């Protein structure tokens, strides 16, 4: 049976809770160990070393590293000290480019973490027969929560009592109008989420009235958690700038290899020693690679990030600036899906 179409007595018995006193401290401790904290699973954070190596996945960067390796090999073979300058410069450019990318990602993560800490929700619950205000992450199935207008709903819950209660559920349904809730409502099995009038859901808010409810699901077991689980499997897509740079890198790599092969073949037919013609063709191929391009792109994007920061925007990854900066108007009818159905005054 599902929590929205089972009788309240059966649900309370199943959750082993008292609607007037709530759970005991011993029950809460046991349930915390069983279900874990009431929070959505976060993606495993990358270390700075992982972020650093992620910067080398770009085609252009890989070509530059190959060019540096070839230049270094040529310099070793020829034994000319001045020939080491080019591969060293290429490596410095690539490493500085990677460091700038890591710094930007780290700054964005710290800013987002600070925002999360500012918005940690709390919940009013009945425990041991007393009303308490606790961190919402400490909620467990069976907790009795008290709700009133303006409250953030901290977990999925079945209403025990309600008085003119309405809830804004746009984050789940996409509908901006508040939904009327009724603890006594009869809901059929397999009813759509928006029709479950005797339930309130994590991530939504109370817009009017008051109520009392028993928590039925927390963390990743909530409706919001199910959406988060689906998002975990979504693949990252490249921005138009990344796609164009990758395409340019492939073209340049092909042209450099083709030029190297043509010069090598011509040299062989001309009777030039193989080692000499190899060195010449490799040097010409390496010189065709624009070593400064990644650094220039990174610097330009960094300037864009600074301008966006002044507009109170947080940019997690540098390439996103190009796409975000190209948007002038966003037209959408999904209020509550792309926007939070609320206004924020920034000063």
344 has pLDDT over 70: no
Mean confidence (pLDDT) of the chain: 82
**pTM of this prediction?**
0.62
CATH number of 8-38+139-229: 2.70.150.10
Model pLDDT, residue 134: 93
Q: Compute the half-sphere exposure of residue 289: CA atoms within 13 Å on the CB side of its CA.
A: 31
pLDDT over 50 at 33, yes or no = yes
Determine the pLDDT at residue 347.
47
Name residue, tokens 């008051």. 210
pLDDT band at 115 (very low <50, low <70, confident <90, very high): low
Q: Which residue has the higher pLDDT, 101 or 291?
A: 101
The domain segmentation of the chain, as residue ranges, is: 8-38+139-229, 48-116+237-324
142-160 residue pLDDT tens: 999 999 998 999 999 999 9
For every residue of 249-267, which 3-state class applies, written as one string?
Answer: HHHHHHHHHHHHHHHHHHH
Which residues on adjacent β-strands are paired with residue 148?
210
CB neighbourhood size of 325 (10 A): 15
Give the contacts of 92 (CB within 8 A, at least 6 positions apart).
none
Annotated catalytic residue within 18, 184, 276, 333: 333
The one-character DSSP state at 340 is -
Helices 59-78 and 240-269: angle between axes, nearest 10 degrees: 30
Is 333 a residue of the active site? yes
**Topology of domain 48-116+237-324, CATH:** Calcium-transporting ATPase, transmembrane domain (1.20.1110)
Please check the confidence at residue 101 and state whether its pLDDT lies above 70.
Answer: yes
C-alpha triplet 226, 16, 126: angle, nearest 5°: 85
Contact between residue 164 and residue 208 where contact means Cβ atoms under 8 Å apart: yes
């Amino acid at each position: 049976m599902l929590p929205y179409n089972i009788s309240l007595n059966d649900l309370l018995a199943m959750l082993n809770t008292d609607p007037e006193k709530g759970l005991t401290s011993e029950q809460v401790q046991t349930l915390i160990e069983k279900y874990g904290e009431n929070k959505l699973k976060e993606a495993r954070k990358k270390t700075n070393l992982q972020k650093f190596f992620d910067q080398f996945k770009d085609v252009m960067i890989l070509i530059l590293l190959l060019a540096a390796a070839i230049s270094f090999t040529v310099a070793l073979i020829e034994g000319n000290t001045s020939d080491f300058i080019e591969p060293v410069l290429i490596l410095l450019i690539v490493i500085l480019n990677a460091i700038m990318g890591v710094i930007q990602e780290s700054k964005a993560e710290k800013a987002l973490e600070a925002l999360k800490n500012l918005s940690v929700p709390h919940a009013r619950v009945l425990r041991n027969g007393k009303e308490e205000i606790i961190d919402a992450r400490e909620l467990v199935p069976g907790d009795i929560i008290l709700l009133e207008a303006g409250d953030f709903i901290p977990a999925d819950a079945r209403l025990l009592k309600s008085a003119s209660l309405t809830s804004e559920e746009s984050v789940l349904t996409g509908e901006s109008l508040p939904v009327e809730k009724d603890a006594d409502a009869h809901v059929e099995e397999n009813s759509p989420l928006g029709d479950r009038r005797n339930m309130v859901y994590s991530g939504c808010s109370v817009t009017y009235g008051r109520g009392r409810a028993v928590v039925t699901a927390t963390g990743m077991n909530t409706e919001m958690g199910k959406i988060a689980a689906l998002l975990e499997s979504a693949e990252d897509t490249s921005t138009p700038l990344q796609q164009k740079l990758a395409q340019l890198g492939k073209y340049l790599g092909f042209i450099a290899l083709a030029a190297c092969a043509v010069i090598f073949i011509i040299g062989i037919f001309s009777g030039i020693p193989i080692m000499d013609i190899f060195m010449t063709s490799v040097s010409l191929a390496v010189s065709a690679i624009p070593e400064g391009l990644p650094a220039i792109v990174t610097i330009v994007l960094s300037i864009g990030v600074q301008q966006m920061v002044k507009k109170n925007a947080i940019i997690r990854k540098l390439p996103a600036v190009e796409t975000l900066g190209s948007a002038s108007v966003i037209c959408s009818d999904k209020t509550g899906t792309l926007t939070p159905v609320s206004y924020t005054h920034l000063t």
